[in-house]
Amino acid sequence: MKPIQVGLLGIGTVGSGTFHVLQRNQQEIQGRAGRGIEITMVADLDVERAMRIVGPDVQVVNDARAVIANPEIDIVVELIGGYGIAKALVLEAIAAGKHVVTANKALLAVHGTEIFAAASAKGVMVAFEAAVAGGIPIIKALREGLTANRIQWIAGIINGTTNFILSEMRDKGLDFDVALKEAQALGYAEADPTFDIEGVDAAHKITLMSAIAFGIPVQFDKAYVEGITKLGAADIKYAEQLGYRIKLLGIAKRRLPDATHRADGIELRVHPTLVPAKRLIANVEGAMNAVMAHGDAVGTTLYYGKGAGSEPTASAVIADLVDITRLHTADAAQRVPPLAFQPGAMRNTPVLPMGEVFTSYYLRLRVADEAGVLARVTGLLAEAGINIDAVLQREADEVSGEAATQTDVIILTHDCMEAKMDEALARMQALPTVLQPITRIRKEELA
């Protein structure tokens, strides 16, 4: 049988890894796919560099549209990134009847609904395993492996840069700025790390996972996004003393109506999170990724591995190529939908505003070291109906540079609605004995 012919748009880190892994493991991949898979055409602006990577047997051009226009190309792999030209090229490839594989989480999180609808209308597949958590096959797990389950929640460390920074802050007692510079020096963070450290990259990924888990459209614009830039070494230390670690988590959670919730909805959020140190995910260190998913039948499952890099991400790209090759001649109705649910079965369950989210909290207050301060603070929480789980107070001589006049009060709360906590924090912040902005970090038990 004639091999499936693949065209690459972009042959940078992931593209070169895809080409090399496909060549190296060609026999094994063909045995699994049922026919050969060959990259026969590459588009890249740096034609000379691309030719050095792929050799003389692969056609190299500087125009991506030439790949799309080639009638011999069955699958187009988009590895350009971003929202702009990548979107146009993906839609043009679909219109030309090509299947598409992409690692572009930003594109799908923002424009996925349009792209998937176009692919469905044309009867072609859009596969994106490489868009979330690199080499971890989490998309396939959610879409197929857990298909018998009503998924209750997902929580993931899905950005290696921020996990590396938080690991360095904990291990070495570094402040955020110092840990970021170290991450940049070692190549874990970009020169402009904004998308990573502000949580945007993780939000793209959890948006895609939430759509697959709950059968809702991709809705990146409704995700709550908070990065790690305001975390201090003190918070890492205090969390450790309380038996927790701080991780930047992407969280998607199904909420059903009950006595406290008037309507169902989906929580979709990214933020620093206290996680019990005994949880496996709390011990994921460095640039590694991990995703927990809880289904009603299977319980809690954990997926761990490299979330980025040339060959780990190439592993996911090639898995998509194999899937498409297997289903290339199948009737479109028999294929697995890109978001797991059949188009007519997608739901309009709303993504909840952050004020309606229920979770528990870590609060750190720098206060004057005076009698009655703690009582006033805890009294305000009680008036708001917020129950306290634990309180830690550092003695004045343990607070750097402010001996004898200031102290830190750390409070862990039980679950409450975020809007209630917002009101309580505003009242606490107004106290004259609260000397600095209050630090608030959400807490998840993930039990």
**Cα distances (angstroms) measured from residue 123 to each of 126, 171, 181, 334:** 10, 51, 47, 11
Q: Give the integer Cα–Cα distance in Å for 425 and 298.
A: 38
User: Is the domain of 19 the same as that of 105?
Assistant: yes
Residue 93: burial class (beta carbons within 10 Å; 0-12, 13-18, 19+): buried
| Domain-located, residue 48 | yes
Residues constituting the chain:
447
Q: Give the integer Cα–Cα distance in Å for 59 and 266.
A: 47
**Is-contact 208 109, C-beta < 8 A?**
yes
User: Is the domain of 255 the same as that of 180?
Assistant: yes
Q: Give the integer Cα–Cα distance in Å for 236 and 275.
A: 11
User: Is the domain of 75 the same as that of 205?
Assistant: no
Q: What CATH number corresponds to the domain at position 375?
A: 3.30.70.260
Q: Give the integer Cα–Cα distance in Å for 361 and 144.
A: 34
Q: Give the integer Cα–Cα distance in Å for 252 and 158.
A: 13
User: Is the domain of 146 the same as that of 125?
Assistant: no
Residue 329 pLDDT: 72
Q: Which domain holds residue 15?
A: 4-138+310-345
User: Is the domain of 315 the same as that of 402?
Assistant: no
User: Is the domain of 133 the same as that of 212?
Assistant: no
Domain count, the chain: 3
**Is-contact 54 19, C-beta < 8 A?**
yes
Residue where one domain finishes, among candidates 295, 318, 345 = 345
| Domain-located, residue 253 | yes
User: Is the domain of 379 the same as that of 435?
Assistant: yes
| Domain-located, residue 427 | yes
What does each of the 447 residues of the chain score in pLDDT, given as a tens digit? 889 999 999 999 999 999 999 999 999 999 999 999 999 999 999 999 999 999 999 999 999 999 999 999 999 999 999 888 999 999 999 999 999 999 999 999 999 999 999 999 999 999 999 999 999 999 999 999 999 999 999 999 999 999 999 999 999 999 999 999 999 999 899 999 999 999 999 999 999 999 999 999 999 999 999 999 999 999 999 999 999 999 999 999 998 776 565 668 999 999 999 999 999 999 999 999 999 999 999 999 999 999 989 999 999 999 999 999 998 777 777 788 999 998 889 999 999 999 999 999 999 999 998 889 999 999 999 999 999 999 998 765 454 555 568 999 999 999 999 999 999 999 999 999 999 999 999 999 998
| Domain-located, residue 67 | yes
Strands 151-157 and 244-255: antiparallel
Residue 429: CB atoms within 10 A of its CB come to 12
Q: What CATH number corresponds to the domain at position 98?
A: 3.40.50.720
Q: Where are the beta strands (DSSP E) in 59-175?
A: 59-61, 75-78, 99-102, 126-127, 151-157
Q: Give the integer Cα–Cα distance in Å for 351 and 224.
A: 10
CA torsion sign, 411 to 414 to 416 to 418?
Answer: positive
User: Is the domain of 300 the same as that of 322?
Assistant: no
Active site residue 222: no
Please write down the long-range contacts of 110-118, taking CB distance under 8 Å and 24 or more positions apart.
Answer: 110/83, 110/204, 110/218, 110/220, 110/221, 111/83, 111/87, 112/208, 112/211, 112/217, 112/218, 112/339, 113/217, 113/218, 115/87, 115/90, 115/91, 116/338, 116/339, 117/343, 118/91, 118/94
| Domain-located, residue 419 | yes
| Domain-located, residue 61 | yes
Which one of the listed residues 205, 247, 253, 443 is annotated catalytic?
A: 205
Residue where one domain finishes, among candidates 320, 345, 370 = 345
**Is-contact 231 176, C-beta < 8 A?**
yes
User: Is the domain of 118 the same as that of 163?
Assistant: no
User: Is the domain of 131 the same as that of 148?
Assistant: no
Residue where one domain finishes, among candidates 275, 306, 337 = 306
| Domain-located, residue 350 | no
Residue 387: burial class (beta carbons within 10 Å; 0-12, 13-18, 19+): exposed
Residue 42 pLDDT: 98
| Domain-located, residue 28 | yes
Closest CA to 210 of 165, 262, 244, 254: 254
User: Is the domain of 152 the same as that of 293?
Assistant: yes
User: Is the domain of 363 the same as that of 322?
Assistant: no
